[in-house]
Amino acid sequence: MRTLREYEAVARERLDPVHYDYFAGGAGDEVTLRANEEALARLALVPRVLRGGARRELGVTLLGTAASMPVLVAPTAFHRLAAPDGERATVRAVAAADTIMIVSMASTVAVEAIAAEAPGAKLWFQLYIQPDLGFTEAIVRRAEAAGCGALVVTVDSPALGRRERDDRNGFHDLPDGLYCENLRFGDSPGHVRQIAMSPEISWDHVAWLRDVTDLPVVLKGVLHPEDARLAADAGVAGLMVSNHGGRQLDTVPATIDVLPDVVAAAGGLPVLMDGGIRRGTDVLKAIALGASAVAIGRPVVWGLAAEGEQGVKGVLERVRDEVDHALVQCGCASVRDLDRTFVR
């Protein structure tokens, strides 16, 4: 497999079609799902020439966590549907690539076990704030104790998106034996709670969370510039422009199309972006338009389903190589050399 899209083709052959649909699908007519990739493809890179420099530096430091490249692993649920050891395989590959894994709250391996699998792995934890604040706090304490360096609070999910492929396939629950292990408090299956996606969650909850933890808080799923302003006022540490890979509200804009407005409104906060990143050139476009780094969701799952740990390593090394190659072709020694003039 030489490209991220080739990993998807192999993953599709290996996966149960119902699980493939769960990973690949989006909400509604999948307009936003398609738009993420299409909007990136519509943008052109405008390289600079004759700038000298033989080496590139790909590393970035985000909220105190150093990563060897500006490509993070977005939180995706249920890795054990893609490979038997699930998130354990993912974290070994991410640690080898020296980038950041944002562990999904809906992981099928507990955050403590993920951390133990690859000591030194750089983990952040994705959180859906639960209406039960005591329960939310207990999960936060587990993420802290496991060594996670930031909390990525997903705010685009006041209700679960309408994923019609899953409805058609009747896929609504994990198969027997797999659980959302971060929601297990106790030993029997009955001690695993369900994730609540609640429209009650508000800025007051963000203020509460900042009181409860010293970890930097990143809000994931911000698309409206006014929310970026409110987030800056709320004292969060960063933002992630995301439409959940087109899985929540269909027909919201492609993330790359709203990124510049969110960056302008964010008052200097670091802004990450995900959605449709499939090539090194996509990474450069997002960074040129103001992202501090990007994250990839599905490509990691495709790597995992295709070849387990090796597959995730392959995906991360291919995207790294493509970023490096695109930088050299753009006359840049580092992602810091990119700005808006490189994109039209």
CB of 163 to ligand FNR, least distance (A): 10
Residues lying near ligand FNR in the complex (CB under 6 A) are found at 23, 36, 74-77, 104, 106, 126, 154, 220, 242, 244-245, 247, 274-277, 296-298, 301
CB of 29 to ligand FNR, least distance (A): 17
Burial of 55 (0-12, 13-18, 19+ CB in 10 A): exposed
Instruction: Say how far apart CA 146 and CA 124 lie, in whole Å.
Output: 10
**Cβ density class 139-165: b for 16+ within 10 Å, e for less:** bbebbbebbbbbbbbbbbbeeebebbb
Helix axes 280-288, 255-265, angle to 10 degrees: 30
Q: Which is nearer to ligand FNR, 290 or 297 (CB)?
A: 297
Q: Is the distance from CB of 133 to CB of 198 less than 8 angstroms?
A: no
Burial of 204 (0-12, 13-18, 19+ CB in 10 A): exposed
CA atoms within 13 A on the CB side of 61: 3
Instruction: Say how far apart CA 241 and CA 197 lie, in whole Å.
Output: 19
CB of 184 to ligand FNR, least distance (A): 16
Q: Which is nearer to ligand FNR, 76 or 99 (CB)?
A: 76
Cβ atoms < 10 Å from Cβ of 16: 14
- What torsion do the CA atoms of 270, 339, 289, 219 make, to the nearest 10 degrees? 0
Q: Which is nearer to ligand FNR, 126 or 136 (CB)?
A: 126
CB of 303 to ligand FNR, least distance (A): 12
Q: Which is nearer to ligand FNR, 254 or 332 (CB)?
A: 254
Residue 151 has which token pair?
Answer: 């909390």
Q: Is the distance from CB of 125 to CB of 102 less than 8 angstroms?
A: yes
Q: Which is nearer to ligand FNR, 95 or 160 (CB)?
A: 160
CB of 19 to ligand FNR, least distance (A): 9
Q: Which is nearer to ligand FNR, 90 or 104 (CB)?
A: 104
Residues designated as active site: 244
Q: Which is nearer to ligand FNR, 126 or 292 (CB)?
A: 126
Cα–Cα distance list, 115 to 94, 145, 146, 281 (Å): 11, 10, 6, 31
Place of tokens 């959940």: 244
Q: Is the distance from CB of 237 to CB of 63 less than 8 angstroms?
A: yes
